[in-house]
């Protein structure tokens, strides 16, 4: 089943997606409510909603499928790391530590945008980039889960575009902290949340979801990969996120960017030049993941803000000077 959140006539609604359109859930019920109720209960509510009249998709604005309490973004594709370190990092290749455990950072849940929303270039950035990912949505609270236990905590999946200001990110990561402002301007989630049962038939012999992933800029395909090229399956990512900590229903965990052109920075690193060029206002980025759907965002002008003030040098005095 597919669950969506949309805006029409100044009102936000949530519902089930069918070939006929969108079928509204009972009043004031959100997709996050369904996720917290658990997958079996959500499927029951969704089945009832399918009997309601359908709203055409072309008459609404799709919002992020759910209001995620937290968003973690992993870096689970080795091929992506190989290319990106040459353009954003120090060019030393994949560090041994990458193979030892999944790595993630927390990104901004307030910056989530819908499947067809415009995305503004972050202030001060000249190297704006997309990142093609799939996100898993946690369906049950848990802590210190094994990978086997984590499978029962998966509610569903959605497409994620981790928009990235590479020039801001590069500066931050030289301080050995981040990314932060390089990543928190926008993250697309959508077009809807596909429940886990819909994609089980795509699992390969190793337990990975073998979904085709594609991204194009202005109608020209620039990247294609399989989700099954992740270094760890989603169950391992959930398990690691919960290690000595807690994950809760509604939490979003991104796979990290796929390889083979899942972002421009990877291609820049491999080619030694900025080809294709950084995103500019007017560019349209479209991503499609098999079994989930398509998101399509247009890049627009961002805010013009004053330069950031540099730190002032200090004397390192240890006593107050009168």
Q: Is residue 259 part of a domain?
A: yes
Q: What pLDDT sits at residue 88?
A: 78
Q: What pLDDT sits at residue 178?
A: 79
Total structural domains within the chain: 2
Residues 6+ apart with CB under 8 A from 302: 120, 121, 122, 123, 125, 185
Same domain assignment for residues 193 and 108: yes
Task: Compute φ and ψ for 282, nearest 5 degrees.
Answer: 105, -20
Q: Is residue 317 part of a domain?
A: no
Q: What pLDDT sits at residue 163?
A: 98
Domain boundary, last residue among 63, 91, 107: 63
Q: What pLDDT sits at residue 85?
A: 87
Same domain assignment for residues 11 and 79: no
Same domain assignment for residues 141 and 269: yes
Half-sphere exposure (Cβ direction) of 72: Cα atoms closer than 13 Å: 22
Q: Is residue 140 part of a domain?
A: yes
Q: Is residue 187 part of a domain?
A: yes
Q: What pLDDT sits at residue 306?
A: 96
CATH number where 233 lies: 3.90.850.10
**CA angle, 29 then 209 then 95, to 5°:** 110
Tell me the residue range of the domain where 26 lies: 2-63
The answer to whether 166 and 129 are in contact (CB under 8 A) is yes
Alpha carbon 140 to chain centroid, angstroms: 20
Q: What pLDDT sits at residue 87?
A: 82
Q: Is residue 314 part of a domain?
A: no
Domain boundary, last residue among 34, 63, 92: 63
Which residue in 28, 41, 133, 39 sits closest to 80, CA to CA? 133
Residue 225 β-bridge partners: 213
Same domain assignment for residues 10 and 88: no
**Three-class SS state of 203:** strand
Same domain assignment for residues 262 and 192: yes
Per-residue pLDDT tens digits of the chain, which is 322 residues long = 999 999 999 999 999 999 999 999 998 999 999 999 999 999 999 999 999 999 999 999 999 999 999 999 999 999 999 999 888 767 778 999 999 999 999 999 999 999 999 999 999 999 999 999 999 999 999 999 999 999 999 999 999 999 999 999 999 988 988 789 999 999 999 999 999 999 999 999 999 999 999 999 999 999 999 999 999 999 999 999 999 999 999 999 999 999 999 999 999 999 999 999 999 999 999 999 999 999 999 999 999 999 999 999 988 888 987 7
Same domain assignment for residues 55 and 173: no
């Amino acid at each position: 089943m597919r669950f969506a959140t949309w805006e029409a006539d100044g009102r936000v609604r949530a519902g089930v997606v069918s070939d006929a359109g969108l079928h509204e859930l009972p009043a004031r019920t959100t997709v996050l409510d369904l996720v917290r109720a658990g997958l079996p209960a959500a499927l029951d509510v969704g089945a009832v909603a399918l009997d309601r009249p359908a709203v055409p998709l072309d008459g609404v604005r799709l919002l992020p499928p759910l209001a995620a309490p937290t968003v973690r973004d992993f870096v689970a594709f080795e091929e992506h790391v190989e290319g990106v370190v040459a353009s954003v990092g120090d060019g030393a290749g994949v560090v041994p530590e990458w193979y030892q455990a999944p790595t993630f950072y927390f990104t901004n849940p307030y910056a989530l945008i819908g499947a067809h929303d415009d995305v503004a270039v972050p202030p001060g950035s000249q190297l704006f980039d997309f990142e093609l990912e799939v996100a898993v949505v946690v369906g049950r609270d848990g802590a210190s889960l094994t990978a086997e236990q984590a499978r029962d905590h998966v509610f569903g999946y959605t497409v994620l575009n981790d928009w990235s200001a590479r020039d801001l990110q590069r500066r931050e990561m030289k301080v050995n902290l981040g990314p932060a402002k390089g990543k928190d301007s926008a993250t697309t989630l959508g077009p809807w949340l596909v429940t886990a049962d819909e994609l089980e038939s795509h699992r390969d012999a190793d337990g990975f979801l073998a979904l085709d992933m594609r991204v194009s800029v202005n109608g020209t395909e620039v990247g294609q990969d399989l989700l099954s090229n992740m270094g760890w399956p989603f169950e391992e990512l959930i398990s690691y996120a919960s290690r000595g900590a807690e994950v809760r229903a509604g939490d979003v965990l991104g796979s990290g960017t796929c390889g083979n052109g899942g972002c421009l920075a990877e291609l820049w690193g491999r080619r030694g030049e900025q080809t294709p060029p950084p995103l500019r206002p007017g560019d349209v980025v479209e991503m499609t993941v098999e079994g989930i759907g398509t998101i399509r965002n247009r890049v627009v002008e961002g805010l013009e803000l004053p330069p950031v003030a540099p730190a002032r040098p200090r004397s390192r005095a240890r006593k107050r000077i009168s």
